[in-house]
Amino acid sequence: MSDDAETTSFHGAKIALLSGDQLLVLLRDDLPDIPFPNCWDFPGGGAEAGETPLECVLRETSEEVGLVIDQGAICWARAFTTEAGAPCSWFFVAKVPAEELAAAKLGDEGQECRLMPVAEFLAHDRAVPYLQTRLALFLGR
């Protein structure tokens, strides 16, 4: 992973947790005041003061699905900006054993967490679009 992932000029981070052709996804709450309500999402969220992108995504993953991901499982990390001058967001990919993903338990946010085939997520009309794009980039599609 790049040393750039230690930067603190970012607003949040997401992580795709893969096991073979399966992916851990979360169904966001269906609330009108949140981005992408009732859509399939990945663990992650906003940064807390002083966190690195990696610390942010690992904390969010623990809070949202109860998983402690080994840093060594992360195989890809990249910063993305949506507009000039805006803080970036980070996207991570980790390859995790199936038994670890099977132990995921939904925290206080969201309606459901489950495993979903990668192809289904990429084609799903209720997946968060920018995460579909970033995952496809990682996969070379």
Q: Two tokens at 52?
A: 């690195």
pLDDT at 82: 74
Q: What digits encode the pLDDT tens for the residues 9-34?
A: 788 999 999 999 999 999 999 999 99
DSSP 49: T
The pLDDT confidence band at residue 1, using thresholds 50, 70 and 90, is very low
- Residue spans of the domains in the chain: they are 3-139
Cα(36)–Cα(32) distance, integer angstroms: 9
3 has pLDDT over 90: no
According to DSSP, the residues that pair with 114 across neighbouring strands are: 25
Helix (H) or strand (E) holding 17: strand 10-19
pTM greater than 0.85 (yes/no): yes
Please say whether the beta carbons of 40 and 32 come within 8 A: no
pLDDT at 85: 65
Q: What digits encode the pLDDT tens for the residues 34-87?
A: 999 999 999 999 999 889 999 999 999 999 999 999 999 999 999 998 776 667
What architecture does CATH give domain 3-139?
Alpha-Beta Complex (3.90)
Write the CA distances from 66 to 11, 17, 20, 102, 103, integer angstroms: 22, 13, 21, 11, 8
Cα(73)–Cα(63) distance, integer angstroms: 18
